[in-house]
Structure 1
Amino acid sequence: MSEKVNITSKGIQKVLKNYNERQAIAEYIWNGFDANADTINIDYVANELGRLDSLKIADNGYGINFEHLQQKFDPFFESEKAIQIVAPKHTSKMHGRNGVGRLTFFTFAHNAAWRTTYQDEKGFHRGMIQINTGGLNSYEAAEEAITETQTGTVVTFTNLRISEIDFEQGVVPFLINEFCWFIELNKHKEIQVIVNGKALDFSANIKSKEEFELLYADTGFRFKIKYVHWKEGLHKELSKYYFLAGGEEIYKDYTTLNKKSDDYFHSVYIDSDFFRDFDFKSFENEGQVALFGAAKSAPEYRFLIKELNEYLKNKRKPFLKEYADRLIDTLEQDGILPGYATERERDVSKLKLTGLIKVLYEVEPKLFSSLSIDQKKMLVRLLGLSLKTGDKQDIFNLISEIIQPDEDEEKDLRVSLEFGVLSLES
């Protein structure tokens, strides 16, 4: 059986131009998890020159039903508009998008072959699907004799354009950061990714982890919390709350500290019976009430989010102080900090200025990450001038106009300025 998809092979490569070999290999792993696999085996063999001769990715999921082949391998695109690789917004299930990821092998190999075993009401079936880079818009599929009664899929890639070093030093670390949050989310399922017989250590990206409980005394609902602070970013997943009931994910959403441009990467997993009949969407329109179960307007939910937001802010503070010190070192190395005529001026004025910069960074890290060197230099000179000529209220007003703090940040800012930076003697 031979089938063609809607656009040309070159057109498909153009559509999928946002993928590289690391993202492509991750997509095959996502395909396995989407098929309810709990184990992904990646096996490769390198030749004497250090190039990969073969690469296999196997999963023990439910396989590829040949009745659904067209929807699995035909992306259904009428145009050649490039796809943005975006993670699901409110659920971690079904990460793949209609088989698009299955065609990304062209980024690292010339040929791909799927040998799959699936089960339907008639029993077990086995088949082979083959595609090559020159013909991404067509695939060859054939059913084979059954030799086993265990569902799953093995994808074999040949004529590879990736080295062993690239795989070990590039792909493997990428996979750890790509899936570490997902592994924590499904810890009770004991899912794993095994590379050449050795399970990947996803804890390598964990900076710190804490587990605790929150109790809403009025109704007795308990919330089991697992907080993870990651060393490096989670790619498209970003920092999120995961709401679970009995270990199963119900919903996920961004934390209030997501996208703060401060490299504070974190995940918070919240497990409670409270979420079994929870309506996460009813509160999107003020005044709308959930017909069944609780909603975001419930006092338990308000209590939970308030406690967690405060918890994250407290966890973030020492992290920001550490990075604020690094920022000062960077500003000094880049020649952004001003020079001082006397040792006395350097000791006091520089101390005040760097203290003010740290305060600004701790409230709004994005302020410095979004500026060019010349813009940073202008801002730092303006802050230095304000320290020389302005009073405390003028300085506070200037900073407030620059960063527009919320109520809590405004309080912290006043305290930091009043009893910190501006309390130093001139």
Structure 2
Amino acid sequence: MHSLTVQVDGDHPARLVRSPRAGLTELIWNALDADADVVDGGLEFSTLGAVERVLVVDRGHGMSPDDVQQGFGALGGSWKRTTRTTRQQGRRLHGEQGKGRFAAFGIGDVVEWCTVHEDDPATETRIRAERHNLRRFEIITAPAEGDVGTRVFVVSVNEAAGKQLEQDSLIDTLSAEFAIYLESYRHVEISWRGQKLNPGALQVEREEYDLEVDGLDDRPQLVVIEWRRQVDRALYLCWCACAPATTARPCAFTSACDSARGRSPCPGGCPPAPLLLSRRNDFSGGEGGFERGIRRQKLIEADDAQ
């Protein structure tokens, strides 16, 4: 066994701990960034009925010893910083700063990663860390107990986190979070507690609008989705069929566009394609909000073009 001490540059690890739902979301994003086609998440309960352990299992390419050293040894040291797409399938990467692993500590006090890399399927690397010392990661190499991919276990789950992750509405929150990704990469499956995410089942109405943008030959598309249930509203500015490049509140559409213009384009050279997610009757508030929201959006586009 050996250990890695995180080399901190600017950010303190404790500030990177997030809410339980955000922590779960980051674990799933990490699995997708490893080219996992199947990601399964779930809960294990104690004899008293409390959440005892949270697990996320993926069938991605796993982490090599170099990946572990680079990804866990320093903040911002992730291999994702040097590329825009995943290693094998060329999907759009979500993370790039190497900070997502700390988000899991918003769920529980101890996190363990068990990973088997595709180049060495007989060997498993186990990385363990505790919340009271986020700078130290213990590394163990042992015979593989699982298939190629990564298994993440979060234990010492705090009571509040357990209650949040038990909520039935979480499956809808996750479906909305990964809607763009699952629509873009239809062979990918994400499941939570045995139920597969199905964003399409939550959509009441969907409208697509081709936009005209000066300087672009190809027309970006605005997709407005009205959800059957309440979800967090957000505006996603995407590069073609990729993961979101910029996220903002609907009222910040024009500023988000300005921000996105300064970003590097899709690796395939595609123009930006904004996607707007709204919740039922609350795009602009009240009954008929969906239609009024569309009219308001068109006024914003017109003002932005002038």
Q: Same fold judged by TM-score > 0.5?
A: yes
1:131 aligns with 129
Pick from 143, 154, 162 the counterpart of residue 145 of structure 1: 143
2:53 is paired with a residue of what secondary structure?
A: strand
* Structure 1 residue 254, shift from structure 2 partner: 7.9
Q: Distance in 2 between matches of 1:235 and 1:322?
A: 11
2:65 aligns with 66
* Structure 1 residue 134, shift from structure 2 partner: 1.3
Structure 1, residues 275-307: CA drift from partner, whole Å, max 9, x if none?
A: x99745xxxxxxxxxxxxxxx7xxxx9xxx9xx
**What is the TM-score when the length of structure 2 is the normalising length?**
0.67
Q: Does 2:25 match 1:35? A: no
Q: Over aligned residues, Cα RMSD in angstroms?
A: 4.8
Higher relative contact order (CA 8 A, sep 6+): 2
2:118 aligns with 119
Equivalent residues of 2:43, 2:193 under 8 A apart: yes
Equivalent residues of 1:51, 1:161 under 8 A apart: no
Larger radius of gyration: 1
* Structure 1 residue 211, shift from structure 2 partner: 8.7
1:208 aligns with 205
For structure 1, list consecutive stretches of 5 or more residues without a partner in the other structure: 78-87, 214-222, 264-275, 281-295, 328-357, 366-402, 411-426
2:251 aligns with 261
Pick from 157, 160, 163 the counterpart of residue 160 of structure 1: 157
Paired positions, count:
266
Q: Distance in 1 between matches of 2:283 and 2:108?
A: 45
Q: Distance in 1 between matches of 2:36 and 2:233?
A: 22
Distance 1:320 1:69, change over 3 A: closer
What are the equivalent positions in structure 2 for 1:220-231 lying under 5 Å apart? 229-231=225-227
Structure 1, residues 184-227: CA drift from partner, whole Å, max 9, x if none?
A: 1212x2x12222322233234322247999xxxxxxxxx9x995
| Higher-strand-fraction structure | 2
**What is the TM-score when the length of structure 1 is the normalising length?**
0.50
What are the equivalent positions in structure 2 for 1:225-240 lying under 5 Å apart? 229-231=225-227, 238-240=235-237
* Structure 1 residue 46, shift from structure 2 partner: 2.4
Q: Distance in 2 between matches of 1:277 and 1:154?
A: 30
Distance 1:235 1:113, change over 3 A: farther
For structure 2, list consecutive stretches of 5 or more residues without a partner in the other structure: 77-83, 85-89, 211-218, 254-265
| Higher-helix-fraction structure | 1
Q: Distance in 2 between matches of 1:321 and 1:108?
A: 31
* Structure 1 residue 253, shift from structure 2 partner: 7.2
Structure 1, residues 393-418: CA drift from partner, whole Å, max 9, x if none?
A: xxxxxxxxxx99948999xxxxxxxx
Q: Distance in 1 between matches of 2:26 and 2:149?
A: 16
Distance 1:323 1:262, change over 3 A: farther
* Structure 1 residue 105, shift from structure 2 partner: 2.2
* Structure 1 residue 172, shift from structure 2 partner: 3.2
